[in-house]
Amino acid sequence: MIETHDISKVYKMGSQTVEALKTISISIDKGEYVAFMGPSGSGKSTLMNIIGCLDTPTNGAYILNNQNVSDLTENELAEIRNKEIGFVFQTFNLLPRASSLENVALPLIYAGYKKSEREEIAMEALNNVGLGTRYDHKPNELSGGQRQRVAIARALVNNPSIILADEPTGNLDTKTSYDIMELFQQLHDKGNSIIMVTHEDDIAHYAHRIIRLRDGVVETDVINENVTRPE
């Protein structure tokens, strides 16, 4: 599903250059649940941006579902993002004035669905994350965990091939973080592919594979033999 072939990323800032990624070659199959770890500045965000088609590598090839996306234009990348990637953020990134249902339905507008279809599909996505009864609430009427569930429903609504989650529990208390990890586990069990970035070891241990970056290279890439499973 995902293959990176010796990708690198160089940022230029005036006369200075930063080599954020050196030569990263990884392959991630459909249905995998992967955690990226590594210290601040190790290249996690840069790699996630490339995998999520928000940015392209300086060198090397990125193949997503058998298509080379390293050389696509902004518009082509945007189209692939809408179809293939569901994003979940640390800060939820919901529209404050819109209801849960409207937030979840948003990606379907770009996908060209009619209003009645959008509402039906969004409602189903909200039900899938256990928030059907809160469809009419605005983000400030929801707890942090509920907001993240809305964001996850929004990420799922277009049936993306990958869910990319950047510190999905970074703004949540411990109990709520575990609830969100339980939801990810259910999504994984249903066959969704999940890639998340986290600083926290106990969160990473819900994933089935843990890739650690350091200074722009893969330091370790291991199968997690002790997957944390919710009770």
What residues make contact with ligand ADP under the rule CB under 6 A? 11, 13, 18, 20, 38, 40-46
Closest to ligand ADP by CB, 167 or 179: 167
* Residue 178, SS3 per DSSP: helix
Residue 223 CB coordination number (10 Å): 9
* Spatial distance between the Cα atoms of 27 and 221, rounded to a whole number of angstroms: 11
Least distance (Å) between residue 129 CB and ligand ADP: 25
Q: 77-110: b or e for each residue (b if 16 or more CB lie within 10 Å)?
A: beebbbbbbbbbbbebebeeeebbbbbbbbbbee
**CB half-sphere exposure, 106, CA atoms < 13 A:** 19
Closest to ligand ADP by CB, 46 or 193: 46
Least distance (Å) between residue 2 CB and ligand ADP: 17
Closest to ligand ADP by CB, 3 or 215: 215
Closest to ligand ADP by CB, 48 or 150: 48
Least distance (Å) between residue 171 CB and ligand ADP: 12
Least distance (Å) between residue 93 CB and ligand ADP: 14
Closest to ligand ADP by CB, 38 or 60: 38
Q: What is the DSSP string of 111-177?
A: TT--HHHHHHHHHHHHHHTT-GGGTT--GGGS-HHHHHHHHHHHHHTT--SEEEEESTTTTS-HHHH
Least distance (Å) between residue 30 CB and ligand ADP: 25
Asked if residue 214 lies in contact with residue 38, where contact means CB atoms within 8 angstroms, the answer is yes
